[in-house]
Amino acid sequence: MKTIQLNNGIVIPTPGLGTYRLGRNDREVIHAVRNALDAGYRHIDTASFYDNEYPIGKAIAESRVPREELFVTTKLWGTDILKNGIEQAFEESMLKLDIGYIDLYLVHWPVTGQVAATWRKMEQIYESGRVRAIGVSNHLTHHLEELLSVAAVVPAVNQVELHPYLVMQGLQDYCREKDIVVESWSPLGSSKIPLLADPLLLEIGQRHSRSTAQVILRWNLQKGLLPLPKSSDAKRQKENIALFDFSLSGEEISLIDRLDKGERTGVHPDEIEF
Ligand code: A2P
């Protein structure tokens, strides 16, 4: 597993395992995470909203992979910002995961009117030493500008929906300029976005004797993005990290960039409601 250095000096393994709807129950989540850890994944991405922090913590404990080899991200949900309290939500995630500390804590979605105040609370949690880095998710450039206008700590990461049909090059460039690593959620598209059947991606895959998924994930790595493919299948989990023995040409990267059509599988960050 390769790593990327975050803006506070800590390193994060890439790719990571996405875990939204990883299993239908705790047993399936534990099974999928154990398989991933056995396959070599060292970065697990969850969120309080996914309701799987408890089984993920269990899988980690059962795996006996040393804690310091692992990188675990979880996220703060919008209703916790508006109603239940940020500190309390963080404590709950800590309890459910039960892994001693959280590597990366993210604001899951920008909450209108709360971006700056939320970030100040995140900075307090960071200063308390219970997380190794803090960042955001689903923040567009204007959300980041609002946040950075009050920030003492620059977010280490911005995790957004990103794939060849939603490239968001402007946001990528802005984040690079601010030293914020961009993570891609749903990097392989979804049933709504049939990316894996795209003819250009299939053709590039054939050229390299790789799957379409591997082409997309390799495109992420070569663009400096950190992809978070989700798979509960042991074979596909292995496929999604077998990315380090081939590379795409500059021309192939540009061709993939040009597939962009601003198509989303999830909600637009300006339209999320809590
Ligand atoms: P599976 O878990 O059965 O492998 P998401 O949009 O939440 O990230 O979901 C990714 C989807 O892509 C899941 O349905 C997952 O199904 C599927 N998937 C993951 N890796 C691969 C792969 N290498 N090839 C084909 N499908 C994949």
Q: Whose CA is nearest to atom 10 of ligand 1?
A: 230
Neighbours of 225 (CB within 10 A): 24
Atom number, ligand 1, closest to the C-alpha of residue 231: 2
Determine the distance separating the centroid of ligand 1 and the alpha carbon of 35, expressed in angstroms: 15
CB-ligand 1 contact for 242 (6 Å cutoff): no
Give a yes or no: residue 95 inside a domain: yes
Percent of the chain with pLDDT over 90: 97
Note the pLDDT of residue 84.
85
Rounded to whole angstroms, the Cα distance separating 158 from 172 reads 9
Whose CA is closest to 236, among 25, 21, 35? 35
Q: Identify whether 50 is a catalytic site residue.
A: yes
Domain assignment present for residue 171? The answer is yes
56 found inside a domain: yes
Domain count of the chain? 1
Q: Is residue 252, in this structure, part of any structural domain at all? A: no
CATH number for the domain spanning 140: value is 3.20.20.100
Residue ranges making up the domain that contains 94? 2-190+226-237
Cβ–ligand 1 contact at 48 (below 6 Å):
no
In a domain, 204, yes or no: no
Please identify every stretch of the chain with a pLDDT value under 50, giving residue numbers as ranges. Answer: none
Which residues, in sequence order, are bridge partners of residue 88? none
Q: Give the separation between CA 224 and CA 167, rounded to whole angstroms.
A: 13
Using the atom order of ligand 1, give the atom closest to the CA of residue 32: 2
- As a whole number of angstroms, the distance between CA 158 and CA 106 comes to 8
Q: Tell whether 145 is covered by a domain.
A: yes
Ligand 1 contact via 239 beta carbon (within 6 Å): yes
Q: What is the pLDDT of residue 223?
A: 98
CA–CA gap between residue 227 and residue 221 (Å, rounded):
7
Task: Compute the distance from residue 124 Cα to the ligand 1 centre, in Å.
Answer: 36
**What SS3 class is residue 146?**
helix
Q: How far apart are CA 63 and CA 142, in angstroms?
A: 41
Q: Is 122 helix (H, G, I), strand (E, B) or coil?
A: helix
Contacts of 139 (CB under 8 A, 6+ apart): 107, 110, 115, 147, 155, 158, 160, 269
Which is catalytic among the residues 41, 50, 126, 165?
50
